[in-house]
Chains A and B, each alone.
Chain A
Amino acid sequence: MSINVNGKAYEVPSALMDKSLALWLREDLLLTGTKIGCDIGVCGSCTVLVDNKALRSCKLKVKDAIGKNIITIEGMTQADGSLHPIQQAFVDCGAIQCGFCTPGMVLSTYALLLEKPNPTRAEARQAIKGNLCRCTGYQQIIDAIMSAAETMRLSEKTINKE
């Protein structure tokens, strides 16, 4: 009965099986980068990756995640604190204002780029449709997704050459 979160396995006591996954991450694992904006699965602030799919952790129970691999925003950052190319793109493109949607946006972007390394702007818009942002008007977030995709494709090429 364990869940892998950001590469680390956590044993889950049976008493917690019906707890919301978002609350378990926040309260039990102290991974507070996962935000709760609506608690009914429509704002996307609590987005995490479950086996590489972007899902709403407020709509999931702990039991739904048993045996699965979860990535939260904390898992995107390297151990030395350096940023993932998606995070760097969000910083550089001005995609961050209040920052409350940012973790969910970054994870929805990651799920998109895992599946489609070369998305169009329209596909980028579609990928974050479930993530509300009240500050940015989404434009610089789309810029960041496109920029991150380019950086990741470039580094992929470099790796292949090597």
Chain B
Amino acid sequence: MEKIKAFRNDAYAKVTGIAKYTDDYAMPQMLHAVPVHAPVASANLIAIDASKALQQPGVIAVFSAKDIPGNVKFGQIIKDYPTLVLDRIKSTGDVLALIVAENREQAIAALPFVHIEIEELPAVFDPEIAMLPETPLLHPEHGSNVCNYHCVRTGDVETGEKESDLVIEQNFQTSRVEHAYLEPESALCHLRPDGVMEVLGSMQHPFSTRRFVSSTLGLQLNDVEVKTVPMGGGFGGKDDTAALVCARAALCAYLLKKPVKLTYTREWSMRESYKRHPYTIQYRMGLKNSGKIQFVKVRMVADGGAYCSVTPWVTWRSTVQCCGCYEVPNVHCDVYGVYTNNVFSGAFRGFGSPQVNFSIEQLVEIAAAKLGITESEFRRINMVHQDSVTITGQKLNTHTVSLKQAMDTVLKKADYEAKLPNCSFGKPDSDEWYGIGYAISYRGMSLGAEGTDFNSAIINIQPDGSVLLETGIHENGQGSESAMILILAESLGIPKELIRYRFPSTSNIPDGGTTVASRGTILGGGATVKAAEIVKERICEGVEASLGIKNCQYIDGKVIDVVGHEVADYFTAIKLCYANQIYPYAFGVFQAPRVSWDEHTGHGNAYFTWVYGCQAVELKVNPKSGQITLLNMIAAHDMGKAVNPAMLAGQYYGGMTMGAGYGLYEDMPLESGTPKPTNYHNYRVLRSTDMPEMTAIFIENSDPNSPSGAKGIGEPTLELMAPAIANALYRATGKRFTSLPLAPNVQDFAKGQQK
């Protein structure tokens, strides 16, 4: 069978090396900035003496918070992050000053010559201690070290407990992990002759970046233009962190009236950038002998680090999805996002679900085993189905609930039932332990009640019929621009080669929110379809005005009259529009259906639609060393519609790999709040030889809530492999591993067995 060739509008540029990422740009008279990081995690900043640094070769200036013309602090939810520290150091990721020099080597060489005078203060690194009333506050103005709290109160857990035949308790611990995007943060800013601060940056949220920059410089939003250039990976990690780098470069460029580039080293990036939140999760679950879950009581504590970032939103998703994809009549859930002096935590592909799924997808298997029911039967008894009501009271009746379909598809493809008897369960005196495992999930699409969810698209058809398209969605490397082009080509019935995605800028199109939450295709694609509907009307108007007829329709690249005769092909129709002074131009908006949330009860229609998925893994373990070898991975997800199959498969493979890395090795332990790993030699990202062959299965139940029929896939693919591996490791070793990362724990277990 001939494979469908992949389509990417940027493939040629990227494969030839001519694609220009931020650090690939240079400008005449460009200067280079570098950050001066805080030496300790908690201190009063007394003074910065830059006099010696200023004497170093090539050094032009050293700037501190006192030089900031606008707001020193900014943030997406709580404005608590200082672009440069004014008086109080709260994390070793804090930046105290910026050195600007003629070249980067000179700026780096001057770093040791900036003298920092501090008064060290007690620091708190444990979120449980941070929550105690006697612990000093990181942000006194916030009134608490609890950054945010969410809850769910459904039914009555005491009644649920009385009705339960069995109650189980289990704690889980997840690790702090790094996005490890291959391109470190970079920004190039210059003040244009028209007075606009122009920002090129490696960031995934140009509009957020614009807010950070304009706030720091004290400018209006229209005084800042953020242009999007290719970005070397983000995965949620190039939001606040990257916007801050842009704001710092812009500050230097603004003060010096010269172009300034600030490119991070990997070491600075790992020290400063936010991570995935580490969680401690305590579950108590009540069960009927029949297998039905009666109640869940759960407490989660997420270490948010020194600044808020998007901790309230990340932990909100964990709250809504705290019972996994299961029906539970009685729920008592408390989730805390906590300030500590650790490096801060923020958005990361998965966004509060990988932690919950790692836990709940093991917990249901523990429960099933105690009840003597198979894990698959237990899941089938409790999983959400068509018209189920979620734990927050949302009825799943607006789309196809395909959880069982996804699970059955994967189990069949994996031949799961037939392979189960081969599992070793830590059988003594064997040379190799084998295990198979899987996990399932549902995931609320897009932002949900955590944010306003709308996006726009502009279609501008030129006189020759070629099309300029843009949306408020950002190309993170996932292929969003290509997906939009394909959606528009299908909507208009024209070849994709006629469509060019316009070089994006914050000055072209309204703020469409951030390209996160797997919302690119559903929101941007929705806006594209809406704009296409409008432009089709314009085209018909042009033809009608020209031919003096009425009630034409645009269908598949043709305009037809009331009796269905073609009156103009696409190119003729466009010519007629221009001849009659009607622009074939449209601005389309997709507003996501309304969602709701009550903070006090944790009830509401949290997300306007949901996606469903299942992933399975086979692996073997060396009983002596504990070394794990992945043998096979299978995933099935219902993303509504496969717009660009090869790129869709790429999302599966990348998500499964990142999920496997999260499950097995990835870890960012801290020492006094500073990440110990500094670069890829001591932070283990999975390599090609770690990975098995993978299978991606597409389930396409077109979603009526999405104008294009398509939903998101970026995050669903990441959130299942860690629990699937944990379940497979249980069947290989006979032991449950409840803390991440798993590989070191398995090694310890294997070594312990040897004694």
Contacts and interface: CB of A to CB of B under 8 A. Distances in A.
Interface of A: 26, 31-40, 42-43, 45, 72-74, 76-77, 81, 83, 87, 90-103, 106, 121, 125-126, 128-142
B658 A35 contact: no
Nearest to B475: A98
Interface in B133-192: 179-184
Contact of A96 (B14, B235, B687, B693): B14
B735 interface: no
B689 A126 contact: yes
B19 interface: yes
A92 to B, nearest CB: 5
Contact of B12 (A33, A36, A83, A133): A83
A97 B477 contact: yes
Interface stretch (B66-74, B273-281, B285-293, B645-653): B645-653
A139 B681 contact: no
B571 interface: no
A77 B265 CA distance: 29
A152 to B, nearest CB: 16
Given A96-B8, A99-B232, A137-B694, A74 B16 contact: yes
B17 A92 contact: no
B476 A98 contact: yes
A130 B689 CA distance: 10
Nearest to B477: A98
Given A98-B230, A100-B21, A137 B654 contact: yes
10 contacts: A37-B232, A43-B182, A91-B15, A96-B14, A98-B181, A101-B182, A134-B179, A134-B182, A135-B654, A137-B653
Interface of A is mostly: loop
B307 to A, nearest CB: 24
Interface residues of B, number: 57
B20 A97 contact: no
B654 A100 contact: no
B565 interface: no
Nearest to A108: B688
B455 interface: no
Contact of A93 (B6, B180, B479, B693): B6
Interface string B370-395: 00000000000000000000000000
A32 to B, nearest CB: 4
A32 B233 contact: no
B10, B11, B15, B650: which has the most chain A beta carbons within 10 Å?
A: B15
Contacts of B233: 97-98, 100, 134-135
Nearest to A132: B685
A131 B688 CA distance: 8
A83 B16 contact: yes
Interface centre among B6, B16, B17, B181, by most chain A C-beta atoms within 10 angstroms, is B17
Given A32-B17, A92-B5, A134-B235, A140 B653 contact: yes
A42 B266 CA distance: 12
Given A38-B266, A39-B265, A100-B183, A132 B16 contact: no
B6 A91 contact: yes
A99 B650 CA distance: 13
B253 interface: no
A40 B679 contact: yes
A74 B693 CA distance: 31
B200 to A, nearest CB: 14
Interface of B: 3, 5-6, 8, 10-21, 23-24, 179-184, 230-235, 265-266, 476-479, 646-647, 649-650, 652-658, 679-681, 685, 687-689, 691, 693-694
Contacts of B477: 97-100, 135
Contacts of B231: 98
A120 B281 CA distance: 44
Q: Which 8 A-B pairs rank lowest in CB-CB distance, beginning with the nearest?
A: A33-B17, A98-B477, A100-B232, A99-B14, A94-B646, A137-B653, A94-B6, A137-B657
A40 to B, nearest CB: 6
Contacts of A43: 182, 680
A32 B20 contact: yes
A42 B679 contact: yes
Given A34-B17, A38-B680, A98-B230, 19 more contacts: A32-B17, A43-B182, A73-B17, A74-B16, A87-B15, A90-B11, A96-B10, A97-B478, A99-B15, A99-B230, A100-B21, A132-B182, A134-B685, A135-B477, A137-B653, A138-B687, A139-B653, A139-B691, A140-B649
A139 B694 contact: yes
A126 B691 CA distance: 11
Nearest to B692: A139
Contacts of B680: 37-38, 40, 42-43, 132
B434 to A, nearest CB: 20
Nearest to B235: A134
Contacts of B13: 99
Contacts of A36: 23
A115 B137 CA distance: 62
A97 B20 CA distance: 14
Given A103-B17, A137-B657, A35 B691 contact: no
A128 B689 CA distance: 8
Nearest to B105: A23
A77 to B, nearest CB: 5
A38 B693 CA distance: 27
Nearest to A99: B14
Nearest to B659: A137
A147 to B, nearest CB: 9
A152 B495 CA distance: 30
A140 B680 CA distance: 23
Contacts of A32: 17, 20-21, 23-24
A139 B693 contact: yes
Contacts of B234: 98
Contacts of A129: 687-689
A125 B3 CA distance: 21
Contacts of A102: 14-15
Nearest to B16: A77
A11 B13 CA distance: 29
B681 A40 contact: yes
A161 B278 CA distance: 62
Contacts of B17: 31-34, 72-74, 76-77, 103
Contact of B688 (A45, A76, A83, A138): A138
B679 A94 contact: no
A158 B50 CA distance: 67
Given A35-B232, A129-B687, A91 B681 contact: no
A83 B95 CA distance: 44
Nearest to B234: A98
Contact of B183 (A90, A98, A142): A98
Contact of A91 (B8, B182, B679): B8
- Which of A34, A36, A128 counts the most B-chain CB atoms under 10 A from its CB? A36
A131 B184 CA distance: 16
Nearest to A97: B477
Interface centre among B18, B20, B658 (most CB of A within 10 A): B18
Given A33-B17, A87-B16, A136 B10 contact: no
A32 B18 CA distance: 7
